[in-house]
Structure 1
Amino acid sequence: MALTDEAIERIKEMIVKGELRPGDRLPKEVDLAERLGLSRNSLREAVKALSLIRVLDVRQGDGTYVTSLQPEVLLDTVGFVLDFHRDDSVLALLEVRRILEPAATAMAAQHMTDAEIVQLGELLVSMENAKDLNQMIETDLEFHRRIAVGSGNPVLASLIDSLSAPTLRARIWRGLTEEGATDRTQEQHRAIHQALASRQAEVARSWAAVHVAGVEDWLRRAL
């Protein structure tokens, strides 16, 4: 079990046993890490993941709280995050995305305007300078959305957009649990942008395929 998954499992146990109830504030990071026998880094990543799906609420300058959801809903949500990567449907959706997105990226190299490509580069800078995980995810989604729209084919763009939400959790979870995944993602984004800027459609297609295949490969290994 990955360290982040283990940390989440420990927090789940605290909810199951009633040690943490909706509305409760989590103990200080250093105290909770020692209590659970975890590193502070693992605990911190677990809190990030759980706050992303709104099981925990991180209040700047105040602390981290269990949300006011019903306990059974909380447990279902945590269980979903722990078990989602065993769902073959996510893998099937990633396979479809691997087919469609490289094609859209190659088309975008031919159809996007110079101004749109410049704006895409500015979005990359925002992504790399993101202050938190939520901001990084938002800019990541927008990066892919703009490329799909830039293909010039609204039907293809709509299909790709429909695959974004169902595969988002897998992409987030990989970024949280696989060492170096975020850095590789940013490198691939830069390579895609450079290929678009130089109007190299087949290079853009290849980098997009590598980019999507990375998540798919991680999920296959997780399965």
Structure 2
Amino acid sequence: MAVTDAAIDKIKQMILSGELTPGDRLPKEADLAERLGLSRNSLREAVRALALINVLDVRQGDGTYVTSLEPRLLLDTMSFVLDLHRDDTVLQFFEVRRILEPAATAMAARSMTDAEIEELRVILESLPASPTIEELVANDLEFHQRIALGSGNSVLCSFIESLSGPTTRARIWRGLTQEGALDKTREQHTAIYEAIAAHQPDLAHSWATVHVAGVESWLRKALA
């Protein structure tokens, strides 16, 4: 194992053991390096690497702290990587969406409160009668993100939000080229909302599958 990797692993073990918890400040560099049996250069490299993936927060003139370690924060790095995808992988992102979003929608149908369902209705009805493509896509993203949040699972929500970026261009393309895209989106969003509002997880799961699979099917034909 490389020296820097070993240093990273030792800091990780301190977090996993509870010796360091979210918000804690790391000991001074010299003290921590001696305690872990590392050179100060190796420790600096490890801290730099862990800061890049949002595990540590280096504050100039103050010290180095463990971040909140919330899933959304830790998955920011994955979002960055996903944004670098090639166009020929976009179908794979839709395949993952087709697996995750129906599950999140079913969970939302079980757990969303009346107030959260009302927020979803407001999003649904905020779409203008004749929206621009940008308005349609923005509303679609907000609608799905609200449902993901309503699942009550922050990790699942973060994964779904990470997939939004790589599929946005395909959503715009569909809105520009597929006849009836607006009507289909509005109809399917309404069906998803009604299933959630009625707390019918199986129906919500089915409509979410139809919705994502429809876009995926259109994209496969368009790319062919």
**What TM-score do the two structures reach when normalised by structure 2?**
0.59
The answer on whether the counterparts of 2:127 and 2:139 sit within 8 Å (CA) in structure 1 is: yes
Q: Which residue of structure 1 aligns with residue 216 of structure 2?
A: 216
Q: Which residue of structure 2 aligns with residue 185 of structure 1?
A: 185
Structure 2 unaligned segments of length 5 or more: list them.
1-85
Alignment of 1:67-216 (within 5 A): 87-129=87-129, 131-216=131-216
1:97 maps to amino acid = R
The answer on whether the counterparts of 1:105 and 1:148 sit within 8 Å (CA) in structure 2 is: yes
Question: What secondary structure is seen at the aligned counterpart in 1 of 2:146?
Answer: helix
Which digits, 9 at most, give the CA deviation of each residue in 1:155-180, with x for residues without a partner?
Answer: 00000000001001101111110111
CA distance in 2, matches of 1:131, 1:87: 26
The answer on whether the counterparts of 2:136 and 2:182 sit within 8 Å (CA) in structure 1 is: no
2:175 maps to amino acid = G
The answer on whether the counterparts of 1:130 and 1:136 sit within 8 Å (CA) in structure 2 is: no
Which digits, 9 at most, give the CA deviation of each residue in 1:180-208, with x for residues without a partner?
Answer: 11111110000000000000000000000
Question: What secondary structure is seen at the aligned counterpart in 2 of 1:127?
Answer: coil
Offset at residue 129 of structure 1 (A): 3.7
CA distance in 1, matches of 2:222, 2:133: 22
Identical positions, percent: 64
Offset at residue 119 of structure 1 (A): 1.4
The answer on whether the counterparts of 2:137 and 2:171 sit within 8 Å (CA) in structure 1 is: no
CA distance in 2, matches of 1:135, 1:218: 20
Offset at residue 131 of structure 1 (A): 4.4
CA distance in 1, matches of 2:138, 2:123: 10
CA distance in 2, matches of 1:129, 1:119: 19
The answer on whether the counterparts of 1:128 and 1:186 sit within 8 Å (CA) in structure 2 is: no
CA distance in 1, matches of 2:131, 2:171: 18
Offset at residue 137 of structure 1 (A): 2.1
Aligned pairs, number: 138
Q: Is the alpha carbon distance of 1:204 and 1:125 closer, same or farther for their aligned partners in structure 2, counting shifts above 3 Å?
A: same
Alignment of 1:37-48 (within 5 A): none
Structure 1 unaligned segments of length 5 or more: list them.
1-85
RMSD of equivalent CA atoms: 1.4
Which digits, 9 at most, give the CA deviation of each residue in 1:3-57, with x for residues without a partner?
Answer: xxxxxxxxxxxxxxxxxxxxxxxxxxxxxxxxxxxxxxxxxxxxxxxxxxxxxxx
1:140 maps to amino acid = D
Which structure 1 residue ranges, 4+ long, deviate > 3 Å from structure 2? 128-131
CA distance in 1, matches of 2:171, 2:142: 14
Q: Is the alpha carbon distance of 1:119 and 1:171 closer, same or farther for their aligned partners in structure 2, counting shifts above 3 Å?
A: same
Offset at residue 141 of structure 1 (A): 1.0
Q: Is the alpha carbon distance of 1:128 and 1:210 closer, same or farther for their aligned partners in structure 2, counting shifts above 3 Å?
A: farther
